[in-house]
Structure 1
Amino acid sequence: MIRTLRTAEDLVWLLDHTQAFPGGQITNLAVQKHRIFDETSGREITAGTAISTIIRYEVAIRGVEGLYSVSRVAKLLMKGVSDFSIFEQEGTDFSEISLLHAETSGGRLRFWFDPHGELYVICDEAELEEVSRPGSVRPIRTGMTEWTFQAEAGELPTIDWFLKHLDRVGIPCAWRMTKPRSPAHPAFRWAGLLLPASAQGLPRTGGGVYIQTYGPLDGYRFGITLRASDPHEEDIGRLLMVLADIIARGFSGMCLAGHHIMERDEWLGGQNVGQGA
């Protein structure tokens, strides 16, 4: 598939088709300087700049039988580049895409390849080439940053419930309570940060998974939102997935993963489930 991108409508299509490259990886980046011979000066002069990126990513598509995943390799060629920046320092990696941001301004296209703008491009137009293949059996897990569950029945679990279940699966964690913003929503119950623990049982430095819980809301008994501080960090991304599976196995209800709403069985992908204690 090849598509040229010039207008705001084209960018809307791009963001919808790619779902903004969630959890994508830039595997190749090239800056091309085009030059022509100037007869007046007798020298070669710059006639334009183009930047091409190769991006591997996976998206979830909803079909007749539910969600299925598609793995894609995309080449995004940005032509007529007037401004760009590639910024990487200790603790950052421009090749990891959380979400692509794109807009039009003054007849030009602007791309941010991550929330912090480590890779930023302004260009006249762009071109997307893409090859797709069937993805993994359980989609929308790579690079996921947030997951919400609303339970149809049961009681809101305590933090001890989470810690015990994590111990059982071999992922011990430390807990750090956080204070709600004032004024708190009336449905709010408690919130805090789960930090993967070291072999000595001490919390590691770095991020974790933020948990926010709430009581009855819109006909559901309770709700839980998980948010990863850095889904590209292997331990944190795995912790988010394990927590989501623990909750979905323990209670019946609905999940929100990214922009996708699904029942817990659909999230678990056909695993054996039962009401957990």
Structure 2
Amino acid sequence: MKKGTILVVGSNATLLEAKGGGTILIGQFLNETAVPIMALVEAGYDFVLATPTGEKPHMDKDSDALIYFGGDDEARQRARNFFVNDPAMNKVRTLRSVVDDGLDRYAGVFFPGGHAPVVDVMQDPSVREILRHFHAHKKPTAAICHGPVSILAELNTAPEFRAALIAEDKAKAAELAKGWQYEGYRMTVFSRSEEEYAEDNVFHAKLHFNMPDALEAAGGKIITADNFTSHVVVDRELVTGQNPMSDHELAEKFIAALDGAA
């Protein structure tokens, strides 16, 4: 007997604006998507994947790498096969249709990582409704790596808030974020130094803003650990993981929160 259904909120973004012009090729991270979802399924949960357009998320090409699976190629292949071939991963709905059909059926919500959510999910109006529902009902809400930036979509002014971050107008961003439902929550996210490593060694370009600055501007209490080590923070209904190496721990603590809520 299934324990319940989890809503997985994916992104359709494939390009991220770079500072000074140009774009960076992005997507959802393989392990940050597949590993927690596979763990949920193994724990007895079903899931529904939904995105802004209803199209399947694009896998970040750089994430299909052994480093994110502890050098275990069998684990990498298993995750890749799940991402590519699992029926529920290919039966994608629009976020709007999920909201319109009602959110009461979902036991929790999960935001996978990769840079993609920084483009669309963090300013999507349907995500605002989703976040408010899960917060009001104290249902577990999990996010990993760049996924935690998705919770900024709860702001009525999310697009303007994002624009203020790009313009480096911290005062305006803070003003736009007043009343954020997660103000004062302890949380983690891809750290400043981890982002600097990605900018210098992967993208060879700079981002307009980093994730801790974005969440702190809205009132989040950011706690980060050493670069690329597993780190998960739980505060009330919110479960956040810092980086790709947090995938298994994030899944474990999210499942514990779901089982406890049930």
TM-score, normalised via structure 1 length = 0.22
Report the structure, 1 or 2, having the larger strand content: 1
Larger proportion of helix: 2
Considering only CA atoms, is the larger Rg found in Structure 1 or Structure 2?
Answer: 1
User: RCO (CA 8 Å, sep 6+): is it higher in 1 or 2?
Assistant: 2
> Structure 2 length normalisation: TM-score?
0.23
